[in-house]
Each structure stands twice: as C-alpha cells, then as structure tokens.
Amino acid sequence: MRIVAGSRKGHRIVAPKGVVTRPTSDRVREAVFSIVGPVEGAAALDLFAGSGALGLEALSRGAASCVFVERDRAAARVIEANLEKLRLAGAIVVNRDVAAALRDERARSRRYDLVLVDPPYEEWEGHATTLADLLPGLLADDALVVVETSDRVEPALPLDLVTTRRYGSARVSLFSP
C-alpha cells in the first residue's frame, strides 16, 4: 500500500499482519478523497483505523490533525509505526473500542470536519446504532462522514446522504449534518 497524494505521495505504508484488518485499497482511497475534496486544515477522526490508511491519507493531503481509533493493539502499533515512518504530525492513536472513544470525544466537546468510518464489513450492523447515536454530536457544521462498507450494505445514519458509490466489493457513502 502507498499514500496516493499530498506531501507523502508514493510513500509505502504497512498493514497489520493477519486477517483482523482489511486495508482500504489505494483505488478506493483515491476515489474517497476525490469526492471529499480539499482537506487542508481539517480535524479528522479515523474510526476502526486498522492500518490508518484513510487518516494517513488525510494528513498527507493537509489535514491539521487526525485521531486514529483502533481497538486491536497490534494494529494500533502499526499506525504509530506508519506515522513515525512518514513523519506526520498532528496525530493521536487511541487504542480503545470505538464506542468508548466516541463517548470520550463527546465528553471533551470535540468537533471534527472529516470522519472516516471503516469497520470490518461483517460488523457494520453491530456498530450502526452506536455510530448513529454518538457521531452527530461530534460533527462540525460542514463536516463530512465517509463510511466504507461491503457493497451489499447501504449504511444509514441520522445524517444527510450526500452520495454512495460502489468500487468492486466496497461501498463508500458520504454523509453530512
């Protein structure tokens, strides 16, 4: 895998070993950021971060900060190693369950301009209610939420659906407040 664009374009990143994570492909990341547009100065939140590919891409493209949330300790270490290798600043890696991390962020009154949500495909239904409850309170007025799911799933959140597109076995849906 590699960073598609921005200050670290072409740099390789590592994905955690094993089948726990499914890194977002270069093609899908490129498509996501083509739809999202410029992210300079954005505060990003990468949920179910895995390798951190989406958040790393956002930082490379000029996001001011990114909080990576990943419950798997080995995957969180890979994100930290990728950040160190790429020398990207403004990042925090939170090794916690997404629901607990979202509650903490809400308690701190944090707001995000870009939220990247990429749970394991088979786990979307188990997380949908928690995300629907907690995400809206974390969004800046002009925020975008990017949700990657299996192409067979049409995610629903209590937000406005901007667009949904299929890329092979993946579906990318964009929401706004």
**CB 19: neighbour CB atoms within 10 A?**
7
Residue 70 vs residue 87, higher pLDDT: 70
pLDDT of residue 18: 57
Task: List the beta bridge partners of residue 172.
Answer: 148, 165
In words, the CATH class of domain 26-176 is: alpha beta
**CB 36: neighbour CB atoms within 10 A?**
19
pLDDT of residue 173: 96
Distance CA 102, CA 135 (A): 7
Q: How confident is the model at residue 26 (pLDDT cuts 50, 70, 90)?
A: confident
pLDDT of residue 10: 66
Q: How confident is the model at residue 19 (pLDDT cuts 50, 70, 90)?
A: very low
38: three-class secondary structure by DSSP:
coil
- The answer on pLDDT for 5 being more than 90 is no
**CB 28: neighbour CB atoms within 10 A?**
22
The pLDDT tens digits of the residues spanning 118-175 come to 998 889 999 999 999 999 999 999 999 999 999 999 999 999 999 999 998 889 999 9
Q: Domain map of the chain by residue range? A: 26-176
Distance CA 16, CA 153 (A): 25
Distance CA 59, CA 141 (A): 21
pLDDT of residue 29: 82
CA 164, 51, 142, 110 torsion-angle sign: positive
Q: How confident is the model at residue 17 (pLDDT cuts 50, 70, 90)?
A: low
Hey, what are 110's tokens?
């944090």
Q: What values do phi and psi take at 113, rounded to 5?
A: -90, -30
Hey, what are 19's tokens?
């089948």
